[in-house]
Amino acid sequence: MAQVDTPITRTTEDFLAPARIALRGVGQIMFQGHAGTGLFFLAGIAMTSPAMLAGAVLGAVIGPLFAHLAGYDRRDVEQGLYGFNSTLVGLALPALLLPSHPLTWAADVVGCVLATIITRLGIRFLRFPAYTAPFVVSTWLLLLAIHGAMGHSIDAPAPPPAVEEGGFWAAVLRGESEVMLGANQMSGVLFLVGIAISNPWHAAMAFLGSLVGTTVGVYHGDPEADVSIGLFGYNGALAAIALFLPRPSLTLPLLAAVISTPLTEYFPKELGIPALTAPFVAASWIMLAALWAERRLFVARD
């Protein structure tokens, strides 16, 4: 008895699929291939600035779309792996440059595509995760190009340094928010809840990572104005989840969060360019290298 193929019909599901992929890409900013997480993240970004929300949506669309057109691995596209770097570029440039200037948005589109291509190179050639390195590299290149061409004329004005209210725990929550270049507690809460609906352990790691990173910053006597906006939390939050992925534990994630703070502190100031999530990437790569060395080289020789 022959099996009858169901006729192909366009259902609501089909129309929603691209949106779901775009949202998964947003969720992947904090390692969640979950569209619901992406929605929470967009809500948190909206609380920071409408221009950044627009940029995030732009990036969330461009990344997977370009990857699809370029014929990158379908499963990777569907999991949002081509979305998160593009989304980060998308929201970062309108935060670092004047959103009112057309060049900002031209650069944004170019940056999103560039981040997607670099993401592809990472997946193809690296034997370890690139994390948000494609976002960092693309954004740096575009900022350097714009500074080279136009000086700092379209840079968004930096807020004057001031200690934010709310003390330690507010700084920890702002650390979550800073993952997407925000600095408000409510975004931080939305990000944590968004992660938790996908994976509560990862939410716990994000919280502990920001807690540890901020604690080290306070203990090292870093400027209160920097601590209070969550500057020593976001890299720790990301690094803690990143090191939780290869093996669920506390030791490696918390150690990664610890070393993210010196890396944030000593990010070379003379570059005149923001660190973005480079300290997270560096901390995680260092820990992965240590973990790899400990396992492959040393344990095997015992």
CB of 204 to a copy of itself, least distance (A): 9
Calculate the alpha carbon distances from 200 to 64, 132, 160, 203, 246 in Å: 26, 22, 36, 5, 16
Residue 296 touching a copy of itself (CB under 8 A):
no
Question: Of 262, 267, 273, 274, which lies in the binding site for a copy of itself, with binding defined by CB under 8 A?
Answer: 262
CB of 208 to a copy of itself, least distance (A): 10
Strand partners, 155: 97
Residue 290 touching a copy of itself (CB under 8 A):
yes
Residue 220 touching a copy of itself (CB under 8 A):
yes
CA distance 85 to 70: 16
CB-based contacts of 230, cutoff 8 Å, min separation 6: 171, 172, 173, 174, 175, 176, 177, 178, 183, 188, 210, 214
- 8 A C-beta contact, residue 58 and residue 108: yes
CA distance 252 to 247: 9
Question: Of 1, 8, 69, 297, which lies in the binding site for a copy of itself, with binding defined by CB under 8 A?
Answer: 297
- Of 150 and 250, nearer to a copy of itself (C-beta) is 250
CA angle 143, 171, 188 (to 5 degrees): 75
Question: Of 247, 271, 272, 296, which lies in the binding site for a copy of itself, with binding defined by CB under 8 A?
Answer: 247
Q: How far is CA 255 from the centre of its chain?
A: 20
Residue 166 touching a copy of itself (CB under 8 A):
no
Question: Of 18, 166, 248, 272, which lies in the binding site for a copy of itself, with binding defined by CB under 8 A?
Answer: 248
Question: Of 3, 6, 9, 251, which lies in the binding site for a copy of itself, with binding defined by CB under 8 A?
Answer: 251
CB of 290 to a copy of itself, least distance (A): 5
CA distance 53 to 249: 34
Burial class of residue 160 in the structure, from the number of CB atoms within 10 Å of its CB (0-12 exposed, 13-18 middle, 19+ buried) = exposed
- Of 113 and 252, nearer to a copy of itself (C-beta) is 252
Given the rule CB under 8 A, which of 109-117, 124-132, 187-195, 213-221 is the region that contacts a copy of itself? Answer: 213-221
Alpha helix segments (H runs only) across the chain: 12-27, 35-48, 50-69, 74-78, 84-96, 102-125, 133-150, 167-177, 185-198, 200-219, 224-228, 234-244, 251-265, 278-292
Closest CA relative to residue 184, chosen from 221, 218, 149, 230: 230
CB of 137 to a copy of itself, least distance (A): 22
- Of 164 and 222, nearer to a copy of itself (C-beta) is 222
CB of 246 to a copy of itself, least distance (A): 11
Residue 293 touching a copy of itself (CB under 8 A):
yes
Given the rule CB under 8 A, which of 48-56, 70-78, 211-219, 232-240 is the region that contacts a copy of itself? Answer: 211-219
Residue 215 touching a copy of itself (CB under 8 A):
yes
Structure-derived torsion over alpha carbons of residues 40, 61, 78, 68, reported in degrees to the nearest 10: -170
Residue 163 touching a copy of itself (CB under 8 A):
no
Given the rule CB under 8 A, which of 90-98, 158-166, 171-179, 247-255 is the region that contacts a copy of itself? Answer: 247-255
Q: Site residues (CB under 8 A) for a copy of itself?
A: 201, 215, 218-220, 247-251, 262, 266, 290, 293-294, 297-298, 301-302
